Amino acid sequence: MESKSFILSSAGLKNIVINDNEDFIIILGEQEIKINKIFAEFISPKISQLHQIDPTINYLKLDD
C-alpha cells in the first residue's frame, strides 16, 4: 500500500479572505487585543477548542 503525504505551513494564511466582522477579543486584565477569528484559532488551541464547542464565542478573558 502506497502512502501519500502533504505539508502544512502558515504561509497559506496569506490566501485567506478576511471578513472584518469576525474579530475575536482577548482580554488581559484591562487590556483588549482584537484579532481576526481565524488567526486567533490558528495561534491558540484553546480558542480553537472553544469554537468547536460554541462557534459564536467572540472573546476570551484571561485573569491574573
Cell of 44: 491558540
pLDDT at 19: 67
Question: What is the per-residue pLDDT for 55?
Answer: 86
Question: Taking Cα atoms as reference points, which of 22, 64, 59 lies closest to residue 44?
Answer: 59
Cα(58)–Cα(37) distance, integer angstroms? 8
Please list the pLDDT of the chain residue by residue as tens digits (64 residues): 688 877 767 777 676 666 667 889 999 988 999 998 888 888 888 998 998 899 889 999 987 6
Residue 47 CB neighbours (<10 A): 20
